[in-house]
Amino acid sequence: MKSIYNILLIGLTVALFLGSCKDEPPQPPPAQTNPYDTITNFQGLLIPNIGKLNVKVTYSYGGSPLVFDTKLYSNMGGDTFTISLIRHYLSNITLIGDKGKVNLNDYHLINAEEIPSTHFQINNVPAGVYQSVSAILGVDSIRNSSGLQEGALDPAYGMFWTWATGYIFFKFEGTTTKGKTFGTHVGGSASIPVNTVSLLGFKIKSTAPTITLNIDLEEMWMNPNVYSFVKDGHDVHSPADPSNLKILQNMQDMISVTSILQ
């Protein structure tokens, strides 16, 4: 009996030992907190989760709202004129902030007189805090030299030079008070017109903000180059034209951010 008792005791001890060696059940991971949901002290634009960016484009001349065909405008070169057409590309909207640069890889063809083309939405915008935004008034050098493309870059829209590789970035047309029409059709990769604007004057937190980008057309004729139709030409239709480069250099500061709404 004693040996049987010893055997049972040993078996029970082994069982208890083996039971104590079993792995503990896995513990659930701690709840993850989205840091962008808790930020209150920030400047700029905060997108707490993957969201959407609504963009509205407006136009002015010297700070006043643009009026087509009837209002007289002037430039530093001494020209006086009316404006009949503004048509251009806006591409590569890039948010710059705590994650570095986030290029949204978008391409939009805008006719300033057609309101629907001046409003668009960009999806899948990454969460982050953004202190500035940049955009190209035209097309980046890679797309500009990639030949015929589709979507907004379809040559059927009349914004592609058939006699020179690349897209027309910006069409600005009108009539001077001297009775001469002008048409500046600029493009080329020699001086891509990238505009970068600070957002530090705002404090907006939203997953679907609406940002208004204003384009001041007076800047096309000045800073750093004073442009005159009489001296530099009423018409520009080639990236090889020296006047084309002067205008592209002036186009680096045409965009401002006038509002960001939640």
pLDDT in tens, 22-74: 556 777 777 788 999 999 999 999 999 999 999 999 999 999 999 999 999 99
Q: Is residue 31 part of a domain?
A: no
- Whether residue 92 has pLDDT greater than 50: yes
Q: Is residue 191 part of a domain?
A: yes
d(CA 236, CA 20): 86
Q: Is residue 32 part of a domain?
A: no
**The pLDDT value given to residue 31:** 76
Q: How many C-beta neighbours within 10 Å does residue 253 have?
A: 15
**The pLDDT value given to residue 7:** 46
Q: Is residue 24 part of a domain?
A: no
Q: Is residue 70 part of a domain?
A: yes
Q: Is residue 14 part of a domain?
A: no
Supply the range of the domain harboring residue 93.
42-261
pLDDT in tens, 209-255: 999 999 999 999 999 999 999 999 999 999 999 999 999 999 999 99
**The pLDDT value given to residue 210:** 98
Q: Are 82 and 241 in contact (CB under 8 A)?
A: no
Predicted confidence band at 14 (pLDDT cuts at 50, 70, 90)?
A: very low
Tokens (6 digits) for 220: 């096309």
**The pLDDT value given to residue 26:** 77
d(CA 208, CA 52): 5
Q: Is residue 18 part of a domain?
A: no
- Whether residue 15 has pLDDT greater than 70: no
**The pLDDT value given to residue 23:** 56
Beta bridge mates, 86: 172
pLDDT in tens, 117-167: 999 999 999 999 999 999 999 999 999 988 889 999 999 999 998 776 799
Who contacts 241 (Cβ-Cβ below 8 Å, separation ≥6)? Answer: 233
Q: Please give the model's pTM, rounded to 2 decimal places.
A: 0.87
Q: Is residue 12 part of a domain?
A: no
- Whether residue 5 has pLDDT greater than 70: no
How many domains does the chain divide into? 1
